[in-house]
Amino acid sequence: MKAKKKQSIHKCTCATCRHHPKSAVAKEHSAINRVLAVLHEKGRRRVVGLLALPWGRGGLTQLSKITGLSRPTIRRGRDEVQKVERATERVRVRRAGAGRPLTEKNSRVC
């Protein structure tokens, strides 16, 4: 079995963190990234989407710099946080049918 690659913690690239790495804002960004590092992709997307709710224009770009997630991913997370989820979707990390096909179905050997 292949060992799971350990996910590294993203380092914020915002101007405040670059110029004042020991500031309160930099510590807050670092804390956000430490929390995100332990979540699965759905949780990570939704936490950042929740953080994006109060931000106005330019918020997605700023959060993208802080977290390293792309703007479409943050936008999707923001939309997911605002809608009610069905019980079956709540359990799954990815949509049904997502991901690589099972090897039994993908076998080309006859």
Binding residues (CB under 5 A) for Zn ion: these are 12, 14, 17, 29
Sequence-separated (6 or more) residues with CB below 8 Å from residue 100: 106
Alpha carbon 47 to chain centroid distance?
7
Q: Which of 38, 43, 67 is nearest to 55 (CA)?
A: 67
Sequence-separated (6 or more) residues with CB below 8 Å from residue 73: 45, 48
Nearer of residues 61 and 82 to Zn ion, judged by Cβ: 61
Minimum distance from residue 16 beta carbon to Zn ion (Å):
5
Minimum distance from residue 73 beta carbon to Zn ion (Å):
18
Minimum distance from residue 34 beta carbon to Zn ion (Å):
13
Q: Are 49 and 76 in contact (CB under 8 A)?
A: yes
Nearer of residues 70 and 82 to Zn ion, judged by Cβ: 70
Minimum distance from residue 20 beta carbon to Zn ion (Å):
9
Token pair of 26 as six digits: 């930099």
Nearer of residues 62 and 81 to Zn ion, judged by Cβ: 62
